[in-house]
Amino acid sequence: MAPPTTFSPVAEQELYVVKEATPGTVPATVGVPLAFTSFKPSDKPLWLPDESFQGSMGDVYGEYQGPLIASWDLGGHIYGDTFGHLCYNILGDYTATGTAGSGSTTLTAQCTAGATTATVASITGFSNGQAVQLGITADGIPEIVTLSSPPSGVTLTFANTPARFTHANAAAVAGMVAPFTHVFALLNGSLGSTVGPGQPPTHTFTHRNGIAANGANQYAYSCLSELVITGNAEKLLDFTAKATCASRATAGSAVGFQNLGSVQPYPSWRTVTGIAGPASGGTQVRNIAEHMITITRAVKALNTEQGSQQPYVIARGKQSNTGKLVFMPSIDDTALTNMLGNVQPQLQFVSNNGLAGASNVIVQVDIVFAAYEVADINDGAELFGYDVTFKPIHTAASAGGITTTGASGGKGAVKVTLTNAIPTY
């Protein structure tokens, strides 16, 4: 018998991510490739057995499908460009700024949230495909859009990246180049959200495995319930993620191979840590062997009698966080005294690839107040250390020039800032 020739090698699988304009609606493109080490999707229909008594000793006389839902577990190394999609999905508050390029003007009319054009005083210096910043940092709601057609008259068009915020007449508008800075914080209310109060965007994840029709399965309406950042001095900076999503659909057209960008993952030793201040100067500590930050989100699929097995809505609820620090070796007992005194120090973790200009890629995590809950001495094989678990506290306060409050103004606990060459998410 001849062996099969239609099987699909595991090594050739690929994963893509794209933000959805409408929750649960698969976009026309699969988006960008997301490097990963594991992806475990699971479709979970709700099974409805018929357990009625029917005059015999049997138990089940039929089984029917109820609502359809799915989930997935994802793991990999952190790439400082594509990692933003995961941060945006679980936190939801997002602002972006860039480095000044060509073109500088002001709005001559209000630009409302959802708009795809802006009326400006001058289009001199602007060009098709250019990244443009609407608003300035002082507005509290800076964002980057990408021009989708050549500027004309007094109009800038950005059909593929609609404005998420409303910008007032006379607000600054400027052309931008890399590096860009992206800030992700906890979304509160509707400012910047396109899917309702407190609801971050949703994403479709496309798993090209070669088995399904057109070579790929698609998991729309993905809502992250967990994102874990793990640094260990002897490993790469890693992440794991969990999500609830719509049940599997097959790609509508053939999904081919895409190359990853030039960004590389981080050896975790490139991370510097600040305790009771920023990760520089006198508050930088050098004896953190491992750190972990777990960002979680309550996620619930709500089913209704709507003539469809798909959920009516997948809702995001409360957002919470935990963390871990491993001091090894410990050069003093500050970890223990901070816990006993309920000091709740500021924490900052900065992973920088050390390159310049547009090639600079940074992943920064800020926590204004970290309440140490456990600080146990670690009697390692050679030296003593401390294992600390902590709880980031939701607050609108700031410390060391850092606040976790985003554009939507609510109380945050963890803020993630990315620097890279990606104009916008």
Kindly tell me if the per-residue pLDDT of 6 is higher than 90.
no
Strands 271-275 and 172-186, by their bridges, are unpaired
Same domain, 368 and 286: yes
Greater model confidence, 17 or 139: 17
The answer on 161 and 216 residing in a single domain is no
* Helices and strands (H, E) in the chain, number of each type: 2, 27
Specify whether 364 is located in the same domain as 382.
Answer: yes
> Is there a domain that residue 138 lies in?
yes
| pLDDT at 48 (0 to 100) | 97
292: how many CB neighbours lie within 10 A of its CB?
Answer: 16
Residues 319 and 264 in one domain: yes
Domain of 129: which CATH number? 2.40.30
Same-domain status, 203 and 314: yes
Domain assignment present for 55: no
* Structural domain count of the chain: 2
Asked if residue 104 and residue 18 are part of one domain, the reply reads: no
Residue 301 belongs to some domain of the structure? yes
Q: What is the pLDDT of residue 124?
A: 96
For residue 315, give its domain range: 10-44+66-94+182-252+260-420
Q: What is the pLDDT of residues 364-391, one digit of tens each?
A: 999 999 999 999 999 978 999 999 999 9
Question: In this structure, are 135 and 204 located in the same domain?
Answer: no
Q: Specify the DSSP element, H or E, that contains 339.
A: helix 334-340
DSSP letters for 10-50 = GGG-EEEEEE-SSTTPPPSS--EE---SEEEEEE-PPEEE-
The pLDDT tens digits of the residues spanning 218-244 come to 999 999 999 999 999 999 999 999 999
Residue 331 inside a domain? The answer is: yes
> pLDDT tens digit string along 276-330?
999 998 899 999 999 999 999 999 999 999 999 999 999 999 999 999 999 999 9
The secondary structure of residue 248, as a DSSP letter, is P
Q: Is the pLDDT of residue 43 over 80?
A: yes
Those residues whose C-beta lies under 8 Å from the C-beta of residue 135, and which sit 6 or more positions away, are: 141, 142, 143, 165, 167, 171, 172
In a domain, 60, yes or no: no
